C-alpha cells in the first residue's frame, strides 16, 4: 500500500501540468505533452490504476507498479531529461541572528562613521523576502580574526560557484540488480562534505555564470565515485566469488578426474600389452599364441585410438569453455552514468568590521561558513 501511494504521488507529480481526474482509484490523464505521447507510442487519455484487482475489473487501464511498462516508459522518458540544472541559492543575512549575536541590539549600537549595522543591513537587504535561512553571524563572530571586532556592514558581493555531479551506479549480477545514486559537491578542486539542502534555491540565470570547464572537477568526482563503487560492490564481490569458486572447482575437479580416468585407461592398456607380450614368450601352444597375438593387436588398436583422439587437448578445451561459461554467468556488470550536473551559485559577502578603530573588509562564504 505504501509503495502504491508513493507511486501514485509520483505519477501525479509527473502529470501535474496535464489534466488529471481521479475517479475511485482510476486516474484519467488528459492533455499530455505530445513529446510523451510520441515517446510512449500512445495518445492520451491514459487510464491509470495502481491496484491489480481494479486493473482486472476495468478494461483498458494501465497498471502502474514496479516494473510495469508505463512506469518504465516514464523512467526512460526522463532518462535524457534533467541532465543539467542551474540553481541560485538565495542566501540572506538573518536579521534576527544579527540582532541577537552581534549588535546586542539596542539603540546604543551606533558604530563608527555613524552607520548602525542593523540599519545598514536593513537598507541593503530589506527587499529580501524570506530571511529564514541565512548567514549565521555567530559563526563569523567565532572567527579569531574578528576577535574584539564589530561588524559594521554586510554586503552581498561576487558570486561563488559549486558543482554537484550525480551518478547513477547500477550493479547487475546473476539475477540481481542493485543501484545507488552518488552525489558529489565540488568547489574548485575540493569535494565538499556539506549539506546545502537547507538553503532556499531558485532556478538561476545563465548570464550569472561565467564560462565553465568541468573536466577536472568531473575527473575528481569520478575518482571519488570509484572509491564509493568499490565499497558498494564489496559484499557483492564476496558473494559472487564464493559462488564462482565453487562452480569452477566443480568443473576443474570433473575434468581432472576425466583426464585421470583416460590416463589410467591408457596405462592399463599399455600394461596389458606388456603383460601379453611377456606371456607370449612363455606360451607354446599355437592356439594360445594366436589368441594372445590377436588380443595384443586389439589392445594396440585401442591404445592407438585413445591416444589419437588427443583426449587431453579436447578435455582441456572443454574445461576452459565451461569455466568461461561460469565466469560469464557470474560477471558483475557495473554501469556508472552521470545523470545530472547542477551548478549552484550564491553571493560571497563583503563584511566590514571595526577592529581597534580600524575598518577591515573581509570576504565571507556563507555556504562554507568560511572567511576567505
Partner 1 sequence: MAKTKKIPLSEEPSINANDKTSFDKNLKIVESNPDEDLIVLNKVKNKEFEPSEVFNLKLRAEEVAKQSEIRELITYPMIKKNLEFNLPHQQEGALRILRDLDGRALLADEVGLGKTITAGMVLKECIVRGFVRRALILTPPSLVNQWKEELKTKFELDFTEINKESEWENCELAIASLDRVKNFNNSTNEFKHNKAHEIYWDIIIIDEAHKLKDKKTYRWKFVDKLQKKRLLLLTATPFQNNLIELYNLLSLLRRGHLGTISEFRSNFLINGNERQPMNPRELKRKLSEVMIRRRRDEAKGIHYMKRVPNIISVELTANEKRAYDEVVDMLLVHYLDFNGEQINTTLAAHSVLPKITSSSKSSIEFLENLKNNPKYHKSTQDIAEDIIFQFKNIKEDTKVTRLIELVNEINKKDPKTKILIYTKHPATLKYVSDILKSQKFHVTEYQGGLTNQEKSKRLKEFKEKNQILVSTETGAEGLNLQFCNNLINYDLPWNPMAVEQRIGRLDRIGQKKNIFVYNLATKDTMEEHVVDLIINKMCCIGLVMGELPIILFNMGLDSLGKSGSSKFEEKIMNAFLDSKNNLSRFSNEIEKVGYEIKNGIKGYAETKNYTTELLDI
If binding means CB under 8 A, how many residues of this protein chain bind partner 1?
89
Q: What angle do CA 73, 76, 79 make, to 5 degrees?
A: 155
Contact with partner 1 (CB under 8 A): which of 37, 38, 176, 298? 176
Compute φ and ψ for 265, nearest 5 degrees: -60, -40
How far apart CA 205 and CA 342 sit, in angstroms, is 13
The Cβ of residue 87 has, within 10 Å, a number of other Cβ atoms equal to 18
Q: How far apart are CA 280 and CA 291, in angstroms?
A: 10
Which positions from 126 to 165 touch partner 1 by CB under 8 A, shown as an x/- string?
----------------------------------------
Among 174, 194, 290, 305, interactor with partner 1 by CB under 8 A = 174
Three-state secondary-structure class, residue 260: helix
| Residue 83 interacting with partner 1 (CB under 8 A) | yes
Task: Choose among 337, 281, 303, 319: nearest CA to 165.
Answer: 337
Q: Does 227 bind partner 1 (CB under 8 A)?
A: no
Contact with partner 1 (CB under 8 A) among 12, 52, 289, 297: 52
Site for partner 1 in 298-357 (CB under 8 A): 318, 320-325, 327-343
Q: Which is nearer to partner 1, 290 or 327 (CB)?
A: 327
Identity of the residue, 83 or 194, whose beta carbon is nearer to partner 1 in the bound complex: 83
Instruction: Determine which residue in the list 32, 40, 55, 89 makes contact with partner 1, applying CB under 8 A.
Output: 55
- Choosing from 12, 38, 43, 82, the residue that interacts with partner 1 (CB under 8 A) is 82
Binding status of residue 13 toward partner 1 by CB under 8 A: yes
CA nearest to 357, candidates 113, 31, 185? 113
Enumerate residues 6+ apart whose C-beta is below 8 A from 65. Answer: 3, 4, 7, 50, 52, 71
Shortest distance (Å) from residue 159 CB to partner 1:
15
Cell reading at 268: 592399463
Q: Does 196 bind partner 1 (CB under 8 A)?
A: no
Amino acid at each position: 500500500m505504501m509503495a502504491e501511494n508513493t507511486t501514485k504521488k509520483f505519477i501525479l507529480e509527473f502529470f501535474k501540468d496535464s489534466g488529471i481526474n481521479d475517479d475511485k482509484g482510476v486516474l484519467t490523464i488528459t492533455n499530455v505533452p505530445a513529446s510523451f505521447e510520441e515517446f510512449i507510442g500512445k495518445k492520451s487519455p491514459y487510464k491509470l490504476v495502481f491496484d491489480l484487482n481494479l486493473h482486472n475489473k476495468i478494461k483498458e487501464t494501465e497498471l502502474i507498479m514496479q516494473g510495469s511498462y508505463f512506469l518504465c516508459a516514464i523512467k526512460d522518458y526522463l532518462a535524457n531529461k534533467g541532465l543539467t540544472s542551474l540553481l541560485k541559492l538565495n542566501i540572506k543575512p538573518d536579521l534576527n541572528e544579527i540582532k541577537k549575536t552581534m549588535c546586542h541590539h539596542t539603540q546604543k549600537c551606533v558604530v563608527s562613521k555613524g552607520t548602525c549595522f542593523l540599519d545598514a543591513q536593513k537598507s541593503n537587504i530589506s527587499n529580501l523576502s524570506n530571511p529564514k535561512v541565512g548567514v549565521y553571524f555567530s559563526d563569523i563572530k567565532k572567527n579569531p580574526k574578528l576577535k574584539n571586532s564589530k561588524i559594521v556592514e554586510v554586503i552581498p558581493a561576487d558570486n561563488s560557484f559549486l558543482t554537484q555531479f550525480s551518478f547513477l551506479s547500477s550493479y547487475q549480477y546473476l539475477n540481481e540488480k542493485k543501484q545507488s545514486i552518488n552525489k558529489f559537491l565540488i568547489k574548485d578542486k575540493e569535494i565538499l562534505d556539506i549539506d546545502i539542502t537547507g538553503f532556499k534555491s531558485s532556478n538561476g540565470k545563465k548570464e550569472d555564470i561565467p564560462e565553465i570547464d568541468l573536466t577536472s572537477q568531473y575527473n575528481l568526482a569520478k575518482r571519488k565515485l570509484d572509491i564509493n563503487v568499490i565499497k558498494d560492490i564489496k559484499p557483492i564481490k564476496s558473494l559472487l566469488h564464493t559462488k564462482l569458486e565453487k562452480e569452477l572447482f566443480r568443473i576443474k575437479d570433473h575434468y581432472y578426474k576425466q583426464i585421470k580416468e583416460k590416463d589410467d585407461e591408457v596405462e592399463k592398456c599399455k600394461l596389458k600389452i606388456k603383460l601379453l607380450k611377456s606371456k607370449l614368450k612363455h606360451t607354446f601352444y599355437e592356439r594360445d599364441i594366436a589368441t594372445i597375438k590377436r588380443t595384443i593387436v586389439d589392445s594396440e588398436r585401442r591404445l592407438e585410438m585413445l591416444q589419437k583422439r588427443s583426449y587431453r587437448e579436447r578435455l582441456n578445451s572443454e574445461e576452459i569453455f565451461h569455466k568461461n561459461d561460469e565466469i560469464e554467468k557470474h560477471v558483475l556488470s557495473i554501469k556508472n552514468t552521470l545523470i545530472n550536473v547542477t551548478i549552484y551559485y550564491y553571493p560571497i559577502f563583503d563584511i566590514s568590521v571595526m577592529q581597534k578603530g580600524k575598518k577591515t573588509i573581509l570576504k565571507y562564504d556563507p555556504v562554507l561558513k568560511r572567511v576567505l
